Structure 1
Amino acid sequence: MSALNETASLDLDLTREAGAPVRRDSPAGLETRAVSAWFGDHKVLDRVSLTMAPGSVTALIGPSGCGKSTYLRILNRMHEMVRGAALAGEVLLGEGDIYDPGVRPAEVRKRIGMVFQKPNPFPAMTIYENVASGLKLAGIKGVDKNEVVENSLKRAGLWNEVQRRLRTPGGALSGGQQQRLCIARSLAVSPDVLLMDEPCSALDPTSTRRIEETIGELAEQVTIVIVTHNMQQAARVSQHCAFFLAGEDQPGRIVESGPTTQIFEAPADPRTADYVHGHFG
């Protein structure tokens, strides 16, 4: 990883003045440069370079086992939590490399949140406590919790459904509501980026539609990167797409990336066309 210069260090200032969430005029973008990844001796990604534009949705598509979820976890430093994992290349949030030795992983995750495939609210906590826990986990103090909880639930499209039962268990919500609760928990710390790993794969069509609506409502406020195997979903929610593919005994890499309309309507690579039209994968 390259060392941060003075300008980059200023851009990657991950502190919170007076413990409060930072309110920015616009979210930062993400960029990876020649990122490769290993689990032990097994190389899973090879020189992946991708720009994820600020305030937009980028969909990562491709067959299972091509490294999409690994790549997503690299974007907020979860990859290094796996024993034997290794990484090469750069991951830039704005101008600064999040893997610079002077940058703490916990600080990165305040600005780059993650929503997982299966909703994971804290079952022993109320709806209110689930959202407020995002502040506690991030070490943010001196804020109006009531305001943060309400605003986060509104941004996640859940406030109208739960405002009269904030003191009931979060685990009692439906699957789709639990997923939006997890989104609200991530939004409580005002991240620049929200990573989503197949957030609708365990949900019914109605809940999936509501999550997609939430993504659309958040897109201009937060940079979103979503892994999905649902081509219709990728076409509906994203402005940019990256098609990952791995060969037999070959690590995953990006075959093609670009505007979603181009990837689905006029892809440059025949493998991309075959995948988005359902001919394999």
Structure 2
Amino acid sequence: MTTATTAPAAPASPASPASLDARAVSAWFGTHKVLERVTLNMPAGQVTALIGPSGCGKSTFLRILNRMHELIPAAQLAGEVLFEGEDIYAPGRRLTDARRHIGMVFQKPNPFPAMSIYDNVVAGLRLTGVRANRQTKDDLVQECLSRAGLWKEVRDRLRQPGGALSGGQQQRLCIARALAVRPRVLLMDEPCSALDPTSTRRVEETIQELASEVTVVIVTHNMQQAARVSQQCAFFLAEQGTPGGIVEHGPTTDIFGAPKDDRTADYVAGRFG
């Protein structure tokens, strides 16, 4: 007689937000250096916005924060990224640990188009090796779609393809999918750049609602968006062929209201970039 084993269920509640600290992070693509000794604290439970002109290394820095940079051929980096005080690049640290705790939402919505809305949300469970029964999955789908501000819009069509949703809904579906594995940090690379103003506003509302539950780091070229959604802000700049770096960082109200560097003042005022 065999005894049935119970599969481990998904966590019952969201994890607490975690802090991230980048220390002297430099990055290269081959021999081309794109970041120079970037140091930045991203406090737990807050939204940190990364702003600056195109080509100054913001998205590269974001990918370094959950070990995506190393997947690019000839990519190299130096420095440390501390998740709750522990370096995610330390020997013996598994890539899957970083990805489970530090989620990512990309610039272009990328749901699995032929997969249903429901299956899109729970897809991350399979990728991270978490098995859950049907009731646990049902609860998780409702919870994550609600946290992403999408439940009321799709609850009657969960079995329809995710690719049939509007662009803004697809982006919120991707947020729900990222939340399903209980990340403590959520990275967002220009999540609203391809969206209309109404969808942008809804995604911004979602970011603000999530901030107390998960640490958010967002790259944006929209200065008004950075001012609306973030509590901390870092201004990146690469000048005259030099690698990108942080000119100034601090509370968003200071960066926009009383910047210490003239280059910051000129950028947030729209005089370049």
TM range (shorter): over 0.9
The secondary structure found in structure 1 opposite 2:108 is: coil
Change (3 A) 1:122 1:216: same
Q: 1-side partners of 2:38 and 2:12: how far apart? A: 30
Contact 1:22 1:190 in 2 (8 A): no
Q: Match of 2:45?
A: 55
| CA gap 1:202/1:158 in 2 versus in 1, 3 angstroms | same
1:89 counterpart = 2:79:
yes
Structure 2 CA distance for aligned equivalents of residues 192 and 49 of structure 1: 20
Pairing of 1:1-281 with structure 2 (within 5 A): 18=8, 20-21=10-11, 23=13, 26-142=16-132, 144-281=136-273
Deviation at 1:25, TM superposition (A): 6.0
In structure 2, list runs of 5 or more residues that go unmatched.
1-6
Task: Give the match for residue 10 of structure 1.
Answer: none
Shift of 1:101: 1.6
Could you report, residue by residue, the CA deviation over 1:169-218 in whole angstroms, capped at 9, with x for unpaired residues?
Answer: 00000000000000000000110000000000000000000000000100
**Distance 1:163-1:35 versus aligned 2 partners, 3 A rule:** same
Identity of aligned residues (%): 71
Partner SS state of residue 253, structure 2: helix
Check whether the contact 1:119–1:179 (CA below 8 A) recurs between aligned residues: yes
The alpha-carbon distance between structure 1 residues 108 and 25, as it changes in their structure 2 partners (threshold 3 A), is closer
Count residues with an aligned counterpart. 265
**Structure 1 vs Structure 2 CA RMSD:** 1.3
Deviation at 1:21, TM superposition (A): 3.2
Q: Where do 4+ consecutive residues of structure 1 move more than 4 Å?
A: 22-25
TM-score, reference length from structure 2:
0.95
One-letter code of the match for 1:178?
Q
Distance in 1, Cα, partners of 2:18 & 2:123: 24
Matched AA of 2:55: G
TM-score (norm: length of structure 1): 0.92
User: Could you say what secondary structure the match of 2:112 adopts?
Assistant: coil
